[in-house]
Amino acid sequence: MSLNIGFVSTRFAGTDGVSLESAKWAEILWESGHVSYWYAGKLDRDPGASMLVPEAYFKHAENEWINERIWGVKTRDPEVSKRVRRMAEYLKGTLYEFVHRFSIDLLILENALTIPMHVPLGMAITEFLAETGHPSIAHHHDFSWERIRFSINAVNDYLELAFPPRLPNVVHTVINQAAQEQLCWRRGVTSILTPNVIDFKNPPPLEDEYAADVRSELGLSEDDIFFLQPTRIVPRKGIEHAIKLVESMNDPRCKLIISHEAGDEGFGYINMLNELAHEAGVDMRVVADRVGDLRGRDAQGRKIYTLWDLYPHADFVTYPSIYEGFGNALLEAIYFKKPTLINRYDIFARDIEPKGFRFPMMEGYVTRGLVQEVKHILDDEAYRTEMVEHNYRTAEHFFSYEVLRRKLNAVIANLV
């Protein structure tokens, strides 16, 4: 039976985890005969299958006004409550319109009932589901209790009601075991574990003419050793450890390339990294101005590459994160068969490491033994190839589209 499936979130655009994973879900559902439609405040999906509601974007002026008055405080003004309800009522009306316009059979709520970046939207979705009983899947990526900035707030009543709600017509899915346990303990809600995935059955193409000049365009020579840090510049990414690793290699050919920009959480961290790299004599380059969501040209006529254009040219990937909800960049490094440094963050240790992967790993700091292991990987092609091929086979077994397809088909069969 073919279903019309409506994806709902505050944003489906760019390369954030929610946008990427929702696109993968839609691709898998399409292969099963289902058609996807999109509702959000910011969209880069097909306009003919989408409903753009600017007020649903978490950076909409009204929502930002609300957020300024509900986080970091313990009480809220009656005017704030009034404006939350007013916006929620408006957004609920747009949800009714979305479901009617595209004859939606099943809703997939992407993180909109998880992290409270947009409280009125969460309230609107919850009321809509309570009023209609519409079958829904809540796909949770990161909860409010996983972020310090939400710990002091004036909206605990709203969080209890809608982030996430306890409704019989909603099946909850989470991306790691810790979230599954915390959701049950904090909300009394059971959930299904649906890890992030990549299409390992279809490996990436070996050659790409457009991206053949990545090294030269980024100022690297063929002899340089390209260490890729494929993340945004925020403190939880632990990029200072990548700098320490490159410094310890004691080889001027080693260059650390960071793919994304700073600014999401201020600029103090990037300023510290710049100072650290300068003092350590590490050639660190932030190439965010050359990396975008799509290929193209910038105002100077220079090529814009995607992150996936960079992976094939990297010699080694650094992923020394302190915390991750799962680890999309790690799966991507495995997909492109790149050796990768891992800092054993909690979710990796619980959900990924037990599967039998082989990585050079650190426990919060770079050791001499770790540096020697990285040198061995780079110097011994046979050893490196065996490692990355083993990791690819392991990921294909545990984190492929086929794994997610089986889970989604079972959930949908029970819901509809």
Q: How many percent of the chain have pLDDT more than 90?
A: 92
Residues 388 and 394: their CA atoms lie apart, in Å, by 10
As a whole number of angstroms, the distance between CA 323 and CA 40 comes to: 27
* pTM score of the predicted model: 0.90
Identity of the residue numbered 375: K
Task: Band the pLDDT of 272: cuts 50, 70, 90.
Answer: very high
pLDDT at 128 over 90: yes
Average pLDDT in the 223-230 region? 97
Strand 106-110 relative to strand 136-140, pairing: parallel
**Beta carbons within 8 Å of 381's beta carbon, 6+ residues apart:** none
Please tell me the predicted confidence (pLDDT) of residue 267: 86
- Angle among Cα 365, 349, 370 to the nearest 5 degrees reads 30
Which pLDDT does position 68 carry in this prediction? 96
Q: What is the mean pLDDT of residues 109-132?
A: 98
- For the segment 391-412, the average pLDDT, to the nearest whole number, is 95
pLDDT in tens, 400-410: 999 999 999 99
The type of residue at 127 is E
Q: Facing residues of 357 across strands?
A: none
Looking at the chain, which residues constitute the CATH 3.40.50.2000 domain(s)?
Answer: 4-197+401-415, 214-398
pLDDT-derived band at 264, boundaries 50, 70, 90 = low
Helix axes 119-132, 78-101, angle to 10 degrees: 50
Do 80 and 112 meet the contact criterion of CB atoms below 8 Å apart?
Answer: no
Q: Tell me: the pLDDT tens digits for 29-45? A: 999 999 999 999 999 99
What are the tens digits of pLDDT across the range 44-77?
A: 999 999 999 999 999 999 999 999 999 999 999 9
Mean pLDDT of 311-316: 97
Q: Which CATH architecture has domain 214-398?
A: 3-Layer(aba) Sandwich (3.40)
Neighbours of 66 (CB within 10 A): 21
Scanning the structure block, which residue is given the tokens 């809220």? 76
What integer is the mean pLDDT of 86-107? 98
Indicate if the pLDDT at residue 154 is higher than 80. yes
For 4-197+401-415, CATH number? 3.40.50.2000
